[in-house]
Structure 1
Amino acid sequence: MASAVAITHCHRCGTESSSTRRIRACARCFSVGYCSKSCQRADWSGRGGHKSICRAGPVFCADPHDAAVRLEVKRSDLDEWEDVGPVSLVDDAANLTLDSAGSGGHHRTGTTPPRVYAARKLPKNAKRIMGKESSQNYIYQHSPDGVDENLLIFFHGAGDSHLPFDALGRRMALPQTATLSISASISLRSIGESNLGKSSTFVELPFGLGHTWFEEMDYECSGETLPTDHPRRSKSMNRALEMLYPLLCSLTDQGAPEPTWIPERVFLLGFSAGACLAMEMCRMWMDEGKMPLGGAICIAGGIQTKEAVSSVSGLTDSKQQKQPTDVLIIAGGDDSIYPTKAAKMSKQLYHQSKVQIHVQKGKGHSMLGSKDEMQVVMEFLSKRLVRRLVSMEGRSR
């Protein structure tokens, strides 16, 4: 999609390209260029700004040497894509620490949007499941633009915390997308009639090393990694999925009296053990006959067993049409824990046509840590996020 014509002048100030000054093309249309980001921003909006004439296809394009990309999202009222302006890539998300996550408060603080459209609270049943006593073990953030049309749920790796993932969500600042970051230290309550009020917890690591979602290692005796088909690992994974399944159902319950999300607008992002959990949840969701979720991003992890988890509802019909959720797997070329061979196996075990694998050269077993990885993630999301045209809704009132 790059222009065949070389861009030699800044479209804003006229500065010429030279050995010391590079003119970067607009990452969306490649028809004009700028000497700096300040010139690009100044020329973008306003009367006669570049925004009014900039056109591109449904997926963003990026100059590989620039740190900004354009993201387009799908409008829910029309089968069209619409530009949401420049989106900055996350600079080395792997370096996010607990300190960078801020105070970890339950709701976002800061500048309030001048007008708030469709800002959604967590559904009451979801709050009941997570419980008041667990309010410090999850963070729900409204979308920066106040329109919570989509929901992105984060699952951390073993021994980690939900706080860096909340910070990642805030730095991504996806349009019309709320985020929910959950800690494996949370206690989830049952709201079913048979086990009303009963709380369940995930796995606590020894020596105060934190929590994880399921048993990947023999934490009681040897400390060695359990085989993927080990009964303890499978039982622990099943238990984790059975705990999270009601929560995901409560977030997508279309019969609830308050606003929820339809499944195709809910996205999962997990790292390592959290990635395994996210992809297994997609498989369970499919086997339960649910409408597919918007998508799942699995970083350094994925399903590793052929046998799916048992049905939660007990009503799974093997003859019913299965609708898998789209999955993106980010694998490291030098990852010894979840190598590229394991990523390819996850694809085979799930659904060949619904899994996209990106192998990052030189990457070990780590979180997103490069612009290339973030570009792949943003492109995956740009094809699936839904955008609500709130400006038209305001005119109809």
Structure 2
Amino acid sequence: MPDLPDPSKPLEVTPQQHDTTSKLQPLRKKAPLTNSTPLTFHYEPSADGVDENLVIFFHGLGDKITPGFTSLAKKLNLPQSATCCIQAPTPVPYLNEEAWQWYPSFDLLTGEQLGPDRPERMLQMKQTVRPALVKLLQHFIQYCGFSADRIILFGFSQGGSVALDVAAFGGINLKAIISIGGYLMEESQNVVPKTSPLTTRVFVLHGAKDYTVVPKIAKDKFKYIERVFGKANTGLHIVEGMGGGMPNSETGWRPIMTFFADVLEYRNVALENMTDVFEVKQ
């Protein structure tokens, strides 16, 4: 039982001076420098003026950051969350329109999609993509002032695989990952995470009508994510009626927004700015 005040003794109430130069972290974080990584990115501070969280978006194969993902980051309007959309480093060959890939995905002679037996996929991940992303994450932490446990990665398809890869093998324990139809690359199955234990939470969303990766295969792929991040930190949600693309209905977006609500951190700015604070002694 805690010690209770003696009712026979008077309380001493002293108003506390409000320190406008307190040691609290600034509401705005520094914007990242464009030369902090060789990757192209688009950063936006939080619309509500408090950069407590950072959500980083990774597009899928054959896409680019504008207009789709920069628009998505804005439409989500996540509270107290700055956003950063990163573009994959390599153009998809032989296409007339602008399209990007995170690692080599097509055979240059036949045009067929490359599988895990092709070493150039993981070679680019290990030598180029993963180091560049780790460098950018360290820049966000050390220069901009974000905490690693306030950083969330959001990836679609191939972008989800990349987000999972850097979270698993980049050596930084992040807050969470949301992956839509993306799984860890098969080539990394024998790689040991640099950070142990991993505390990063993982949420994977998959369409029940995804005929490229059918739900049965998705569940098998998800077992590898469970082994790396731990069953307690991971969850797979199969959405009925959803195909292999991004969610386009409330049924698909509701579980994502519920997960965001669970992992985002909130700063009580109003309480920090209160001046009528008193110290009570007996």
**TM-score of the aligned structures, taking structure 2 as reference length:** 0.78
2:16 paired with 1:128? no
Using the alignment, how far apart are the partners of 1:205 and 1:377 within structure 2? 33
Q: Secondary structure at the match of 1:395?
A: coil
Structure 1 distance, partners of 2:233, 2:114, is 28
Correspondence 1:145 to 2:48? yes
Mapped partners of 1:205, 1:213: distance in 2: 13
Q: Which residue of 1 aligns with 2:84?
A: 180
The alignment partner of 2:273 has SS state of helix
Higher helix share: 2
Structure 2 match to 1:359: 238
Deviations 1:85-114 (A, max 9, x none): xxxxxxxxxxxxxxxxxxxxxxxxxxxxxx
8 Å contact kept, 1:156–1:271? yes
Cα distance in 2 for residues equivalent to 1:152 and 1:280 = 16
2:166 and 2:95 map into 1 onto residues whose CA distance is 29
SS at match of 2:47: coil
- State the Cα deviation string for residues 18-39 of structure 1 (Å, max 9, x = none): xxxxxxxxxxxxxxxxxxxxxx
The Cα of 1:338 is off from its aligned counterpart by 2.7
Distance across 2 between alignment mates of 1:309 and 1:248: 24
Is 1:281–2:166 an aligned residue pair? yes
SS at match of 1:170: helix
Aligned to 2:64: 161
Corresponding residue for 1:226? 114
CA RMSD of aligned residues (A): 2.5
Question: Please, which runs of 5 or more residues in structure 2 have no aligned partner?
Answer: 1-23, 277-282
Deviation of residue 159 (structure 1)? 1.8
Distance in 1 (CA, whole Å) between partners of 2:252 and 2:95 is 34
The change in CA–CA distance for 1:260 and 1:346 in structure 2 (over 3 A counts) is farther
Whether the 8 Å contact between 2:156 and 2:246 is mirrored in structure 1 is: yes
For the residues of structure 1 that align with 2:139 and 2:190, how far apart are their CA atoms?
20
Does the 8 A contact of 1:304 with 1:346 survive in 2?
no
Aligned to 2:7: none
1:309: Cα distance to partner?
A: 8.3
Distance 1:152 1:261, change over 3 A: same
Relative to 1, partners in 2 of residues 1:203 and 1:294: Cα closer, same or farther, differing over 3 Å? same
2:267 corresponds to: 388
Alignment of 1:87-102 (within 5 A): none
Deviations 1:231-266, CA, capped at 9 Å, x for gaps:
12221232321221111121122xx4xx42111110
Match of 1:84 in 2: none
Q: Are positions 1:372 and 2:257 aligned together?
A: no
* Per-residue deviation, residues 258-314 of structure 1 (Å, max 9, x unmatched): x421111101111111111111111113xx2x3x21111111211131635878xxx
What does residue range 113-124 of structure 1 map to in structure 2 within 5 Å? 118-124=27-33
Question: 1:58 maps to which residue?
Answer: none
How far 1:203 sits from its partner (Å)? 4.3
C-alpha displacement of 1:146: 0.6
Kindly state the Cα deviation for residue 334 of structure 1 after the two structures are TM-superposed. Answer: 1.6
Shift, 1:378, TM fit:
0.9
Normalising by structure 1, we get a TM-score of 0.57
Q: CA separation in 1, counterparts of 2:272 and 2:217?
A: 47
Asked whether the equivalents of residues 146 and 176 of structure 1 are also in contact (C-alpha less than 8 Å), the reply is yes
Letter in 1 for 2:242: K
Query: Offset of 1:128 from its aligned partner?
Result: 2.0
Q: 1:342 to 1:245 in 2, by over 3 A?
A: farther
Partner of 1:211: 100
Unpaired runs of at least 5, structure 1: 1-76, 78-116, 185-200
Work out which structure has the larger RCO, using CA pairs closer than 8 Å and 6 or more positions apart in sequence: 2
Cα distance change on mapping 1:336 and 1:235 into 2, 3 Å: farther
Counterpart of 1:159, as a letter, is G
The whole-number CA distance in structure 2 between the counterparts of 1:342 and 1:202 is 28
**What is the aligned partner in structure 2 of residue 334 from structure 1?**
209
Moved segments of 4+, more than 4 Å: 308-311
Cα gap change, 1:207/1:249 in structure 2, threshold over 3 Å: closer, same or farther? same
Identity of aligned residues (%): 28
1:269 lines up with 2:148 in the alignment: no
Alignment equivalent of 1:242, drawn from 131, 155, 167: 131
Change in Cα spacing, 1:228 to 1:144, as seen in structure 2 (3 Å) is same
Q: Distance in 2 between matches of 1:241 and 1:169?
A: 22
Task: Say whether the 8 Å CA contact 1:155–1:278 is kept in structure 2.
Answer: yes
Separation (CA, whole Å) in 2 of partners of 1:122 and 1:308: 35
Alpha-carbon distance, 1:160 to partner: 1.2
Q: Offset of 1:367 from its aligned partner? A: 0.7
Cα distance per residue 1:31-67 (max 9 Å; x no partner): xxxxxxxxxxxxxxxxxxxxxxxxxxxxxxxxxxxxx
